[in-house]
């Protein structure tokens, strides 16, 4: 009966939506793109009185109702709304409890978890406590124990009395307000009256004071469209002073990941001199970009000042409300610097990164000025590429002969080899055409294996695929007919070896301007490698 009511309500909601929006089809587009409920979780709480009474709380995104299967042979599931809990009495034993979540459109997702109900006191406890590597002052606690259902974590922080709870075997996330040393108390609970307590004394909760990953990589730009002060992505202007002798900050050039970064500490302001003879010309630039990172507790407003000491004048603009704990990318319209008494932006001699107070730690990357592209960027892949006739000479892959394609098993032993005599055309308009040539098995390695396919007719160039090239990750994604590079018929989805509609992402390595290596993974420990030379 509950199932019928639930489905009836769901159908009514959809029907009412369709009826009320019949005159506006765009209003029901969500029905075509609706997704099943996600982010499912299920928490267990059990009374410590030997009764086996368990409270089950399912959670999820996009959920209207849950069906709870208690896993003990109860015939009908119990339906509850999202955010509610249900109780159930269990005998001693191990059960698989399932929660099926339904969204408004009727799409569903299911989560299942093991529940151990025992009237024996929890024992054999194992505790893991660690500072989160990415979130400042966050401690992650994982507990395992026999005859236990869930555990409570008391942080030991003054004024915080409510525990954080989690199921046994899962992780409780404890967020502290301040770094320091704390006695962390963990109470492990099962269905028995007795509980088990563990105390971790004097545990140090740490604060993350520096970014753990690089700032976002700027997009490619033509040299004439950017004036870079500091960035690994572009050619930087030559600076006369960094920092200036009159700066009020400690300055250190450091590396985060593989990127060069400025670390400013105890910063009031940092001065930069481009050059005092003629300055740098920012008059054609439309936007200013800067990435900054500050730790928790730094709320100082950050600003950038540009100065023309030749003609006179300066102006300062704010980077907005400070956001801590992650890289923040800020783009400011250069017209914002038209205020103040700045005469022009053709002779900018000084730049200042300013703070409205003394900021303890600030990291800076990708400080540059830019404008809209003056002409379309050309992918380095643009042009016609041919399979290299002797790719093995590059010293990559197995040593048996010169091959253009290899498959390597997990142990690094060559299993088979094929030769592809194909041509690949990457157009400036984003089009991709694979002109198929002969695909031949190299005799003598595995006689009789025909996985390389047989010669196929060349592609006539109609309905070409499209490609995109992500320079930051070194990958090309090809979509549509012919969306593959030399894959044999056994792997491209087409029984006759001809192109099929597909989407494939390849990893590209540029050996030099005229040679590239293209890799594609195809399962654990197995990959294909192609060497292409530019015609």
- For residues 160 and 57, what is the distance between their CA atoms, to the nearest angstrom? 24
Angle of CA points 512, 517, 520, to nearest 5°:
155
| DSSP secondary structure string for all residues of 372-391 | S-SSPPPPTT-EEEEE-TTG
Angle of CA points 512, 515, 520, to nearest 5°:
115
In the chain, list all ranges with CATH 2.60.120.260. Answer: 223-370
- pLDDT tens by residue, 251-308: 999 999 888 999 999 999 999 999 999 999 999 999 999 999 999 888 999 999 999 9
- pLDDT tens by residue, 66-85: 999 999 999 889 999 988 99
Lowest mean pLDDT of 22-31, 169-178, 449-458, 506-515, name the range: 449-458
- For residues 445 and 126, what is the distance between their CA atoms, to the nearest angstrom? 53
- For residues 320 and 70, what is the distance between their CA atoms, to the nearest angstrom? 51
- For residues 454 and 339, what is the distance between their CA atoms, to the nearest angstrom? 70
Q: Is 71 helix (H, G, I), strand (E, B) or coil?
A: coil
Q: Which CATH class is domain 223-370?
A: mainly beta
* pLDDT at 138 (0 to 100): 95
In the chain, list all ranges with CATH 2.60.40.10. Answer: 2-117
Does 178 score more than 50 pLDDT?
yes
* pLDDT at 481 (0 to 100): 61
Q: From residue 32, how far is each of 12, 36, 205 by CA, in Å? A: 17, 12, 47
In the chain, list all ranges with CATH 2.40.128. Answer: 383-534
The radius of gyration computed from the CA coordinates of the chain, to the nearest angstrom, equals: 31
Does 30 score more than 60 pLDDT?
no
* pLDDT at 438 (0 to 100): 58
Angle of CA points 116, 118, 121, to nearest 5°:
120
Q: Are 517 and 529 spatial neighbours (Cβ–Cβ below 8 Å)?
A: yes
Output the six-digit token pair for 13: 């909601």
* pLDDT at 258 (0 to 100): 81
Q: Place 236 in a pLDDT band, splitting at 50, 70 and 90.
A: very high
Does 490 score more than 90 pLDDT?
no
Does 319 score more than 90 pLDDT?
yes
Q: Let me know if domain 383-534 sits in CATH 3.30.1050.
A: no
- Determine how β-strand 414-420 pairs with β-strand 405-408: antiparallel
Angle of CA points 147, 149, 152, to nearest 5°:
120
* pLDDT at 47 (0 to 100): 93
Q: Are 6 and 102 spatial neighbours (Cβ–Cβ below 8 Å)?
A: yes
- For residues 239 and 463, what is the distance between their CA atoms, to the nearest angstrom? 51
Instruction: Indicate the pTM of the whole model.
Output: 0.57
CATH number for the domain whose boundaries are 2-117:
2.60.40.10
Q: Please give the residue that has the higher pLDDT: either 464 or 113.
A: 113
Q: Are 125 and 198 spatial neighbours (Cβ–Cβ below 8 Å)?
A: yes
- Determine how β-strand 248-256 pairs with β-strand 53-61: unpaired
* pLDDT at 421 (0 to 100): 64
Q: Count the neighbouring beta carbons within 10 Å of the beta carbon of residue 253.
A: 10
CATH number for the domain whose boundaries are 124-205:
2.60.40
Q: Please give the residue that has the higher pLDDT: either 475 or 19.
A: 475
- For residues 263 and 280, what is the distance between their CA atoms, to the nearest angstrom? 24
| DSSP secondary structure string for all residues of 333-344 | EGGGGGSTT---
Please enumerate in sequence order all residues whose Cβ is within 8 A of that of 518, keeping only pairs 6 or more positions apart, or say none: 476, 485, 506, 507, 508, 509, 529, 530, 531, 532
């Amino acid at each position: 009966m509950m199932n019928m009511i639930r489905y009836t309500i769901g159908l009514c909601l959809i029907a009412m939506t369709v009826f009320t929006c019949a005159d506006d089809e765009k209003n029901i587009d969500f029905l075509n793109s609706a997704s099943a409920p996600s982010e499912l979780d299920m928490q267990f709480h059990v009374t410590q009185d030997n009764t086996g009474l368990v409270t089950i709380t399912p959670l999820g995104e996009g959920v209207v109702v849950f069906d709870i299967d208690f896993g003990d042979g109860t015939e009908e599931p119990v339906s509850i709304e999202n955010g509610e809990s249900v109780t159930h009495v269990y005998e001693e034993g191990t059960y698989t409890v399932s929660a099926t979540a339904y969204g408004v459109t009727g799409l569903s997702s299911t989560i299942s978890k093991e529940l151990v109900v025992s009237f024996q006191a929890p024992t054999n406890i194992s505790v893991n406590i660690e500072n989160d590597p990415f979130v400042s002052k966050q401690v992650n606690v994982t507990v395992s124990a026999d005859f236990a259902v869930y555990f409570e974590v008391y942080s030991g922080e003054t004024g915080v009395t409510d525990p954080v709870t989690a199921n046994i075997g899962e992780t409780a996330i404890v967020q502290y307000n301040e770094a320091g040393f704390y006695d962390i108390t963990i109470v492990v609970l099962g269905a028995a009256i007795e509980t088990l307590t563990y105390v971790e004394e004097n545990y140090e909760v740490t604060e993350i004071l520096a970014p753990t990953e690089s700032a976002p990589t700027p997009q490619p730009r033509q040299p004439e469209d950017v004036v870079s002060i500091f960035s690994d992505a572009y050619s930087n202007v030559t600076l006369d002073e960094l920092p200036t002798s009159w700066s009020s900050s400690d300055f250190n050039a450091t590396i985060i990941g593989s990127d060069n970064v400025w670390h400013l500490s105890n910063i009031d302001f940092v001065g930069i001199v481009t050059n005092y003879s003629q300055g740098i010309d920012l008059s054609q630039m439309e936007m200013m970009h800067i990435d900054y990172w500050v730790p928790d507790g730094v709320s100082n407003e950050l600003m950038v000042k540009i100065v023309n000491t030749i003609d006179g004048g300066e102006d300062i603009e704010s980077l907005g409300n400070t956001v801590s704990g992650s890289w923040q990318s800020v783009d400011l319209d250069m017209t914002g610097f038209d205020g103040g008494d700045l005469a022009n932006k053709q002779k900018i001699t000084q730049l200042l990164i300013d703070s409205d107070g003394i900021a303890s730690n600030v990291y800076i990357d990708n400080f540059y000025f830019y404008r809209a592209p003056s002409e379309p960027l050309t992918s380095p892949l643009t042009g016609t590429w041919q399979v290299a006739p002797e790719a093995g000479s590059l010293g990559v892959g197995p040593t048996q002969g010169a091959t253009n394609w290899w498959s390597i098993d997990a142990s690094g032993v060559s299993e088979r080899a094929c030769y592809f005599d194909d041509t690949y055309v990457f157009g400036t308009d984003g089009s991709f055409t694979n002109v198929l040539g002969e695909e031949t098995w190299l005799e003598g390695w595995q006689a009789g294996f025909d996985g390389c396919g047989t010669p196929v007719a060349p592609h006539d160039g109609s309905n070409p695929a499209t490609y995109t090239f992500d320079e930051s990750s070194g990958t090309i994604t090809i979509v549509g007919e012919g969306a593959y590079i030399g894959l044999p018929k056994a792997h491209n989805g087409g029984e006759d070896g001809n192109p099929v509609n597909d989407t494939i992402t390849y990893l590209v390595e540029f050996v030099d301007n005229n040679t590239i290596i293209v890799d594609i993974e195809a399962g654990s420990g197995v990959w294909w490698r192609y060497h292409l030379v530019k015609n």
